[in-house]
Amino acid sequence: SQTIHQWPATLVQPVGSPLSLECTVEGTSNPNLYWYRQAAGRGLQLLFYSVGIGQISSEVPQNLSASRPQDRQFILSSKKLLLSDSGFYLCAWRREVLNGYTFGSGTRLTVV
């Protein structure tokens, strides 16, 4: 069966430090992969999506970047974190057409 893993579950980082969040999917090949952010008290915003290795589309200008070095691996990064980068980050992959997305358990990032 297909599963999605995200880590770490929680992270506290100082302003200006780098960031790397990892997401991996098992049990499928060539999935579409997505990074969402949920800021405190707000909805979900799509940050990046990828339809294949090395293919990244950015939805909003920001301090973050994404990479897909392997078919089932999606990484969210930053060189220097800002306070405004705090939030709940969710990775997702898309199953077959019409079935929506499956989400990971999320990473709660607090920038201090």
Partner 1 sequence: GDSVTQMEGPVTLSEEAFLTINCTYTATGYPSLFWYVQYPGEGLQLLLKATKADDKGSNKGFEATYRKETTSFHLEKGSVQVSDSAVYFCALLNDNQGGKLIFGQGTELSVKP
Phi, psi (degrees; rounded to nearest 5) at 27:
85, 10
Q: What's the helix, strand, coil split of the chain in %, to 5?
A: 5, 60, 40
Nearer to partner 1, 42 or 80 (CB): 42
Instruction: Work out how close the CB of 42 gets to partner 1 at its nearest, in angstroms, rounded to a whole number.
Output: 7
Binding of partner 1 at residue 74 (CB under 8 A)?
no
Footprint of partner 1 on 10-69 (CB under 8 A): 32, 34, 42-44, 46, 49, 59
Task: Calculate ∠ Cα 61-62-65, nearest 5°.
Answer: 100
* Backbone Cα Rg of the chain: 13
Selected from 19, 76, 90, 111, the binder of partner 1 by CB under 8 A is: 90
Nearer to partner 1, 48 or 64 (CB): 48
Residue 16's Cβ-side half-sphere holds a number of Cα atoms within 13 Å equal to 0
State the residues that interact with partner 1 by CB under 8 A.
6, 32, 34, 42-44, 46, 49, 59, 90, 92, 94, 97-106
